[in-house]
Amino acid sequence: MFGFENITANNGWAMAVVGASIVFIGLVVLSFVISQVHKILNFWEQRDGFFGRRKKQAQIEEPKPIKAPVTIQHHLPSVKELASIYRPLVAQLKQPFDLLQLFKISNKMDLPHPHLSIKYLREAGILVPQGDGTFTWDNQKPY
């Protein structure tokens, strides 16, 4: 038996109709789902509202104050006070000395604003430049 006789004898027509029906129903369901994707996505975006989890209105809370770190402003002492602070440091150095050495010592001692302090001492004439990049301490100043 070959051909249509074999298909009819083994229920081939029924299997072909059922297979075609399954494929057709699958395509119909797929086209329906694709046509409703926008509703599904809208539902997904608003899922909290549908399930009652979302509050009716978000209450406005008072902003919490931000605790900023307290900064302590160190005011630079007067030239007289700077001279009394830096005189013992300069006494440790060999005359003439390099400003870098004085800066390193003032950093180790944790003195505030060593750059500005050294600048003010230079402007006041207490630190006297020697011309070759070294400085000396002027003991003749009344400070």
pTM equals: 0.46
- Full pLDDT tens readout for the chain, 143 residues: 788 888 888 889 999 999 999 999 999 999 999 999 999 898 888 877 766 655 554 555 677 777 777 666 667 778 888 888 888 888 888 888 888 888 888 888 888 788 888 888 888 888 888 888 888 888 777 65
Following CA atoms 33, 34, 39, 40 in sequence, which dihedral angle do they give, to the nearest 10 degrees? Answer: 60
DSSP state letters, 85-107: HHHHHHHTSPSSEEHHHHHHHHH
CB atoms within 10 A of CB 136: 15
